[in-house]
A and B are shown apart, each in its own frame.
Chain A
Amino acid sequence: MRIGVFVCQCGTNIAGTVDTEAVARRAMEYADVVYATSYVYTCSEPGQQEIQRRIKEMNLQGVVVAACSPRMHEPTFRRAVERAGLNRYMFEMANIREHVSWISTDKEANTRKAMELVHMAVAKLRFNQPLFSSKVPINKRVLIIGAGVAGIQAALDCSDGGLDVVLVEKNPSIGGKMAQLDKTFPTIDCSSCILGPKMVDISQKENVTLHACSEVESVSGYVGNFKVQIRKKATYVNWNACTGCGECVRKCPSRKAPDPFNEHLATARAINIPFPQAIPKKAAINRDYCLHFTKGKCGVCKKICPVNAIDYDMQDELVSEEVGAIIVATGFDLFDHSVYGEYGGGRYPDVISGLQYERILSASGPFGGHIRRPSNGREPRDIVFIACVGSRDASVGRPYCSGVCCMYIAKQAILTRDHLPDSNCYVFYMDIRSPGKNYDEFVRRAQEEYGVQYIRGRVGKIYPRGDRMVVQGADTLLGIQVEVEADLVVLATGVEASAGAGELAEKLRISYDQYGFYMESHPKLRPVETNTAGVFLAGACQGPKDIPASVAQGSAAAAKVQALFARDAIETDPQVALVNERTCVGCLKCIMVCPFGAIQSKTLRDGSIKAEVLASVCQGCGLCNATCPPKAIQLQHATDNQILAELNILCA
């Protein structure tokens, strides 16, 4: 083989701490290397042209680029060598930037290490084989998991683009957290007035199939051809018949069921429609509170329902859907403020979360939009907001900024002063984070126009005095201790990953960070893709986000899906396992370990049993390769010989 080696200087990123000229000179000594050079920016247009020119001029059969991480530029260089007529798999990369020049300043040691890494890449390349992709058709339907504002936006954009959409929502209604909000910052738009039309659109789109009260049970397959099982939870109401008239809700005698939509500030009936604008507007029975299920009597709803929709025998139903791409938009959960013992640990009814206050402000909320104290129903006069509850606090495992709290307390304080002009609003804050369009102006309005008093400092303690709450904190600007007597304390509870995020990630085979937020493929350049082809992210499941950012990411994910679906077939990755039938002994251990069911057995004409890989299903993990006793099954592009060749360099 004739191999060319290109050692990138990456400006001074590599050349600053690695002698790239020396690395190139040494490379000339390695077996099969016929050309080696050092270049200032190999990934640049002239850099790539230089590679292509040398391939033709020197008749190169393989290329090694020693540069940045292959996770960064491997696709770039593969395309470059392909343009010069080489197979794209006759290329190897040595990572001498992230793994060498950036982690040590010892130029001598770095240069030595870079030389060895290049040598390993050359040794591997000598065993490389040209590989060829095949094409598989794409199923042009998209699954969207989660129907908050991000999922809704993605669904509408995909639907407008003519795609069939399967939308799965865990709760009985779509809308997510935005449906619970009263107003939105910084425009003070009515939240349900701007979200409502989008929700109605979803229900009216003919190419959108909505599964509410449903969760994804399992996912198999690969980009272009996923198979998804969806569990439709039993609602005990036949939704095909239910008209959402609400007669059953009004007559239900069980009134103590929890009301998650109102953040448990009120109770609901055992049969309930979560809110007036719910989509789908259908009733569902809470089994744990329904007298029919708990006591074996009642049955009022069944008797009263004009369309005979009540079905006490209903079971969960599993629905299969086949899709070509998946958008994950599962949103977030609110931080549980009961962790803060000094703020009452959730024991004081007048110390509430930000979302609870949102329900109090809302006209569809428990108090019909009148601000009242949950403890005694009276109007509060002094209201304290506390920022960063469950944000920027490593002691509770939440060192990150939730991004929205500064803004939503400014909004809530403005609304409070609007509703109750005689009230006094205080905000305890650490720093004000308002980096959006018109955001900082909005916070200033709260301070200057609405007279909200901002106090910079942490609150140390909240305790009751009579029927009011005492808030003790520091004013770090004045350097004094502050004590405020309040009727109501609103904690700006932060954002955390939703409760089932980890489980769903396992099903989808996507990664999440230490806080449970899903990992994008690249933090800057691939913010909606995941590392699993065909799975995209939208909204706060990827990290704390406000509404405009969630909507933007919903649209971005939809655009990515449409770009994917613009082709009729996708190229498969040829880095898959391959069986050598002459050495396969037919033990079929590979079938047992394969996580994807990509291997099957076949009987040859002589009656012997052999393993066979379904190339389009194989994901290229190589489990089978490590398992196979006679090493008859080999992962292409990471064969035993290739890896051992790399190791041999290091053992010499």
Chain B
Amino acid sequence: MDQSAASGALVDSIRIIGFLCNWCSYGGADTAGVCRFKQPTDLRVVRVPCTGRVDPLFVAKPLIYGADGVLVSGCHPKDCHYAVGNLYARRRLEVLKNFLSFMGIDQRRFRYTWVSASEGQRWQQVVSEFSETIHAVGPNPLARK
């Protein structure tokens, strides 16, 4: 983290996409912001109604075309605003995760997790850890072709 923050050029080149469900994780990220929990600036958030809306294509495409990491975050299982949307997401994304290396993508570039609207601190932790991982993995080689 400290290392990456020091070298501005690297920070500049890292880009992480986050798919956040409107009801839990987007709220959690808002809570983290309201509480002024400092986070890395690599993340760009796409708001979706539910993680069940996330087509595996939305994860695969950016990883093929240039993003360095993709994070999907939704409501905790059993706390989904749409009852079961996150369970469908979990199945789909788990399959996708196992498929990434077949596509020549480092599995570490993708993570899915659950953060509720009240868990600002947990969100800070998730973002920081994932950002750290991506910085360790480095820029996406597929992007620079």
Pick the contact of B41: A71, A109, A511 (CB < 8 A): A109
Closest to B88 in A: A623
Interface status of A505 (Cβ within 8 A of chain B): yes
Listed residue (B34, B66, B92) with the most chain A CB atoms within 10 angstroms of its CB? B34
> Is the Cβ of A103 less than 8 Å from the Cβ of B32?
yes
CA distance A99 to B34 in the complex (A): 9
A621 and B50 contact, CB distance less than 8 A: yes
12 contacts between A and B (CB under 8 A): A99-B43, A102-B33, A505-B79, A509-B80, A509-B82, A511-B117, A595-B85, A623-B82, A626-B53, A626-B88, A635-B49, A643-B46
A113 → B minimal CB distance (Å): 5
- A509 engages B38 (CB within 8 Å): no
B1-54 with Cβ < 8 A to chain A:
11-12, 15, 17, 22-24, 26-27, 29-30, 32-34, 36-41, 43-50, 52-54
Q: Which residues of A contact B41 (CB under 8 A)?
A: 100, 103-104, 106, 109-110, 112-113
CA distance A514 to B28 in the complex (A): 13
User: Which of A509, A622, A647 contacts B17 (CB under 8 A)?
Assistant: A647
Q: Which residues of A contact B54 (CB under 8 A)?
A: 626
Looking at the assembled complex, report how far the CB atom of A482 sits from the nearest CB atom of chain B, in whole angstroms: 37
Closest to A593 in B: B88
Encode A92-106 as 1/0 by CB contact (under 8 A) with B: 000101111011111
**Contact (A650, B67) CB under 8 Å given A511-B75, A626-B92:** yes
Whether B99 sits at the interface, judged by CB under 8 Å, is no
The 3 lowest CB-CB distance pairs between A and B, nearest first, are A98-B33, A622-B53, A621-B82
Given contacts A509-B82, A623-B50, contact A104 B117 (CB under 8 A): no
Contact partners of B88 in chain A: CB under 8 A: 593, 623, 626-627
Judging by beta carbons under 8 Å apart, are B55 and A640 in contact? yes
Within the assembled complex, what's the spacing in Å between the Cα atoms of A513 and B84? 18
Q: Flag A611-652 by CB within 8 Å of B: 1 or 0 each.
A: 000000001111101110000000100101001101100111
A102 touches B34 (CB 8 A): yes
Q: Is A519 an interface residue (CB 8 A)?
A: yes
Whether A622 and B49, one on each chain, are in contact in the complex, defined by CB atoms closer than 8 angstroms, is yes
Given A104-B38, A113-B44, A519-B117: A651 touches B23 (CB 8 Å cut-off): no
- For residues 102 through 117 of chain B, which have their beta carbon under 8 Å from a beta carbon of chain A? 116-117
The CA-CA distance from A593 to B122 in the complex, in Å, is 30
Cross-chain contact A502 with B81 (CB below 8 angstroms): no
A643-B45 contact in complex given A97-B33, A650-B15, A650-B67, C-beta closer than 8 Å: no
Known: A514-B118, A626-B55. A120 touches B79 (CB 8 A): no
Residues of chain B touching chain A, judged by Cβ–Cβ distance below 8 Å, are: 11-12, 15, 17, 22-24, 26-27, 29-30, 32-34, 36-41, 43-50, 52-58, 61-62, 65-67, 75, 78-85, 88, 92, 116-119, 143
Q: Which residues of A contact B81 (CB under 8 A)?
A: 509, 511, 531-532, 621
Not counting A97-B33, A511-B23, A531-B81, a sample of 10 additional A-B residue pairs whose C-beta atoms are within 8 angstroms of each other reads: A511-B79, A513-B116, A595-B85, A596-B82, A621-B81, A623-B82, A626-B54, A638-B48, A638-B49, A640-B55
Tell yes or no: A512 within 8 A of B by CB: yes
**Please, what's the 1-or-0 string for A440-469, where 1 marks a CB less than 8 Å from any CB in chain B?**
000000000000000000000000000000
A residues near B32, Cβ cutoff 8 Å: 98, 103
Tell me the bound Cα distance from A511 to B25 in angstroms.
12
The answer to whether A502 touches B78 (Cβ under 8 A) is yes
Q: Which residues of B contact A117 (CB under 8 A)?
A: 44-45
Interface flag for A382 (CB, 8 Å): no
Expressed in whole angstroms, the Cα–Cα distance for A622 and B143 within the complex equals 29
> Is A69 interfacial (CB-CB < 8 Å)?
yes
- Of all chain B residues, which has the CB nearest A652? B66
- A106 surroundings in chain B (CB, below 8 A): 41
Q: Which residue of chain A has the shortest Cβ distance to B85 in the bound complex?
A: A621
Bound-state CA distance A70–B81 (Å) is: 18
Contacts of B143 in A (CB 8 A): 651
Interface members, chain A 344-368 (any B CB < 8 Å): none
B30 CB → nearest A CB, Å:
4
Q: Closest CB-CB distance, B76 to chain A, in whole Å?
A: 9
Assess whether B82 is in contact with A595, with CB atoms less than 8 Å apart: yes
CA of A100 to CA of B32, assembled, Å: 11
- Closest beta carbon of chain A to B35's beta carbon, Å: 8
CA distance A627 to B47 in the complex (A): 19
Known: A511-B117, A640-B55. A98 touches B66 (CB 8 A): no
When chains A and B are docked, how far (Å) is the Cα of A109 from the Cα of B4? 13
Measured CB to CB, the closest approach of chain A to B80, in angstroms, equals 8
CB contacts (< 8 Å) of B29 on chain A: these are 98-99
Select from chain A the residue with minimum beta-carbon distance to B37.
A103
Identify which of B23, B26, B62 contacts A650 (C-beta below 8 A): B62
Closest beta carbon of chain A to B59's beta carbon, Å: 10
- Bound state CA distance, A620 and B53, in angstroms? 9
A117 to B37, CA, bound (A): 20
- The reply on A21 being an interface residue by CB < 8 A is no
Q: Is the CB of A646 within 8 A of B46?
A: yes
Residues of A near B22 (CB, < 8 A) are: 71
Tell which of B66, B116, B118 touches A651, judged by Cβ atoms closer than 8 Å: B66
User: Do A99 and B65 form a contact, CB below 8 Å, given A71-B27, A505-B79, A532-B81?
Assistant: no
User: What CA separation (Å) do A443 and B120 show in the bound complex?
Assistant: 36
**Min CB distance, A197 to chain B, in Å?**
38
Cα–Cα, bound, A623→B34 (Å):
30
Q: CB-CB contacts of A106-128 with B at 8 A, as 1s and 0s? A: 10011011001100100000000
A506: interface (CB < 8 Å):
yes
B50 near A622 (CB under 8 angstroms)?
A: yes
With A622-B53, A643-B58 known as contacts, the answer to whether A650 contacts B66 (CB < 8 A) is yes
B1 to chain A, nearest CB (A): 13
Asked whether A103 lies within 8 Å of B50 as measured between CB atoms, the reply is no
Asked whether B62 lies within 8 Å of A506 as measured between CB atoms, the reply is no
Known: A621-B50, A650-B66. A120 touches B44 (CB 8 A): yes
The answer to whether A644 and B61 have CB atoms under 8 Å apart is: yes
Complex CA gap A110/B83 in Å reads 36
Q: Given A619-B82, A647-B62, A626 and B44 touching (CB < 8 A)?
A: no
Given contacts A519-B117, A621-B52, A647-B62, contact A512 B79 (CB under 8 A): yes
Q: A126 → chain B, closest Cβ, in Å?
A: 16
Which A residues from 457 to 503 make CB contacts under 8 A with B?
502
